[in-house]
């Protein structure tokens, strides 16, 4: 396999899989080893000074002088990156400044912290479901707009003998149901306590290394099942067929929750397509790279960089484009030297709160100074036309894996 083919495969895979910070763990360990080596070299330098005068040792970067290693703190960075001349590119920002961002009122509590034990949703129904919170070794917990938590019994062990034995929930656009792939089929749980299992079509029964993610279609149309070979369309009766859109791992596939319009970017650097029918798709050229796409209101949002990247420190961030023309409407770049917010999944577009606002999950991280489990995850409203960031809620690392109902969350 050629290098560029391998890169495309990896890009498609990472677009589908929520990164578990394996790269972050490796980077943090490497940074600790590097600081240890620097401290050791500093001791050698001190000895040489005592013996024969001052000796300057340089390692790594030619401008970096070895001395007693100090652990830097993650602080808002100042950037000397050249400012893009286009109107869509906003000033470079630092996710660590979200601790100072204003709070935005929503149906969510300020802190998302599900209880270890919650009443069963079958015994105590909810008005709707706005958050679904998976956790290894625990039943799925769901939150209603009344800020009450419930559990979904039996979901802690609904998947077994896979690489990830944790359900991956998807909330219906109206918040009435939550669905998830399980070994037995697609489990659908209703906010009113109802429960059903849709059997897998034979081709999707498995077993597989992981159970596929789901995307809801509007109303009772069913699901897009993001199977690793190619996406499938499965209705509520369990009838299914391969979808005409998407590629391996279902990367780049998105569904408008209001209209059901499907869009995809099947190739890492390919065209953005809008599917008008099973055999009718229009496409536009989309510059740069992107991952974790969402669509609504005739717009597309994702994490990436719509430009060529240029020289200097790599940048990524939230992007909004017009899928009819490919025009970039907004890009809020972050200095992302170690792909923290792109490949490692620390920034994800979750959907649109309204026509002017994108819902983001942002988990500030500095692999040089922090362990992957450290830090706080923020649920953020990005007004993409003005570049304003507001925080709706905060939580721990598991917030990265939770599902949300953006159309309901924004009802203040």
What is the Cβ-side half-sphere exposure of residue 7, based on CA atoms within 13 angstroms?
6
Residue 107 is predicted with a pLDDT of 96
Q: How far apart are CA 68 and CA 41, in angstroms?
A: 9
State the CB neighbour count (10 A cutoff) for residue 198: 20
The full length of the chain comes to 412
Q: How far apart are CA 336 and CA 251, in angstroms?
A: 22
Strand blocks (E) in 235-339: 240-242, 253-255, 262-264, 272-277, 280-284, 289-296, 299-305, 315-321, 328-331, 334-335
405: its two tokens: 């109902």
Residue 372 is predicted with a pLDDT of 82
Taking the domains of the chain in order of start, what are their residue ranges?
3-13+15-52, 86-409
390: its two tokens: 């507001």
Residue 174 is predicted with a pLDDT of 96
In this predicted model, what pLDDT tens digit does every residue of 205-228 receive, in sequence order? 888 888 999 999 999 999 999 998
178: its two tokens: 């939550």
What is the Cβ-side half-sphere exposure of residue 383, based on CA atoms within 13 angstroms?
11
- Domain 86-409 adopts which CATH fold? Neuraminidase (2.120.10)
Cα separation of the two ends of the chain: 51
Residue 412 is predicted with a pLDDT of 59
SS (H, E, C) 268-297: CCCCEEEEEECCEEEEECCCCEEEEEEEEC
Residue 20 is predicted with a pLDDT of 46
Cβ burial 231-260 (10 Å sphere, 16+ → b, else e): bbbbebeeebeebbbbbbbbbbbbbbbeee
Which residue matches tokens 């050698």?
A: 44
Bridge partners for 358 per DSSP: 352, 382
pLDDT beneath 50: ranges in the chain: 1-20, 22-83, 310-311
Q: What are phi and psi of 178, to 5 degrees?
A: -130, 140
75: its two tokens: 């602080």
Closest by CA to 166, choosing from 403, 404, 412, 408, is 403
Beta carbons of 296 and 314 less than 8 angstroms apart: no
State the CB neighbour count (10 A cutoff) for residue 219: 11
pTM: predicted TM-score of the whole model, two decimal places: 0.80
Which whole-number Å values give the CA distances from 407 to 134, 190, 284, 345, in the listed order? 20, 17, 27, 23
In this predicted model, what pLDDT tens digit does every residue of 32-53 receive, in sequence order? 444 443 444 444 333 333 334 3
Q: How far apart are CA 265 and CA 15, in angstroms?
A: 10
H-run or E-run covering 195: strand 195-198
Beta carbons of 375 and 364 less than 8 angstroms apart: yes
Q: 122: buried, middle or exposed (CB in 10 Å: 19+, 13-18, 0-12)? A: middle
Q: How far apart are CA 301 and CA 313, in angstroms?
A: 23
Residue 277 is predicted with a pLDDT of 83
Residue 335 is predicted with a pLDDT of 92
Residue 207 is predicted with a pLDDT of 80
Q: How far apart are CA 227 and CA 213, in angstroms?
A: 7
């Amino acid at each position: 396999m050629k290098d560029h083919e391998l890169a495309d495969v990896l890009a498609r895979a990472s677009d589908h899989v929520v990164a578990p910070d394996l790269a972050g763990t490796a980077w943090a360990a490497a940074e600790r080893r590097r600081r240890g080596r620097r401290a050791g070299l500093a001791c050698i330098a001190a000895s040489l000074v005592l013996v024969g005068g001052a000796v300057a040792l340089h390692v790594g970067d030619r401008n970096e002088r070895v001395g007693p290693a100090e652990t830097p703190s993650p602080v808002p960075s100042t950037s000397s990156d050249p400012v893009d001349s286009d109107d869509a590119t906003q000033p470079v920002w630092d996710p660590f400044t979200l601790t100072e961002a204003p709070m935005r009122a929503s149906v969510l509590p300020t802190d998302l912290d599900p209880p270890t034990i919650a009443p069963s949703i079958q015994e105590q129904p909810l008005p709707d479901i706005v958050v679904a919170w998976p956790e290894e070794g625990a039943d799925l917990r769901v939150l209603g707009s009344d800020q009450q938590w419930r559990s979904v019994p039996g979901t802690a062990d609904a998947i077994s003998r896979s690489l990830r034995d944790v359900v991956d929930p998807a909330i219906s656009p109206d918040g009435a149901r939550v669905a998830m792939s399980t070994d037995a089929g697609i489990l659908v749980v209703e906010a009113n306590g109802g429960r059903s299992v849709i059997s897998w079509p034979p081709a999707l029964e498995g077993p597989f290394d992981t159970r596929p993610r789901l995307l809801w279609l509007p109303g009772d149309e069913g699901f897009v099942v993001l199977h690793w070979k190619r996406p499938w369309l499965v209705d509520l009766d369990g009838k299914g067929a391969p979808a005409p859109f998407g590629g391996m791992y279902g990367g780049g596939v998105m569904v408008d929750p209001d209209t059901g319009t499907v869009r995809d970017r099947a190739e890492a650097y390919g065209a953005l397509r809008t599917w008008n029918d099973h055999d009718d798709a229009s496409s536009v050229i989309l510059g740069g790279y992107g991952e974790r796409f969402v669509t609504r209101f005739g717009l597309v949002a994702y994490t990436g960089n719509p430009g060529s990247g240029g020289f200097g420190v790599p940048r990524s961030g939230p992007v909004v484009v017009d899928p009819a023309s490919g025009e970039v409407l907004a890009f809020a770049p972050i200095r992302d030297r170690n792909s923290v917010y792109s490949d490692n999944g620390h920034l994800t577009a979750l959907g649109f709160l309204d026509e002017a606002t994108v819902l983001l999950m942002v988990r500030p991280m500095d692999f040089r100074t922090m362990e992957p489990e450290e830090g706080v995850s923020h649920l953020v409203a990005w007004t993409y036309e003005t570049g304003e960031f507001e925080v709706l809620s905060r939580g721990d690392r598991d917030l990265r894996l939770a599902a949300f109902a953006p159309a309901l969350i924004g009802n203040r």
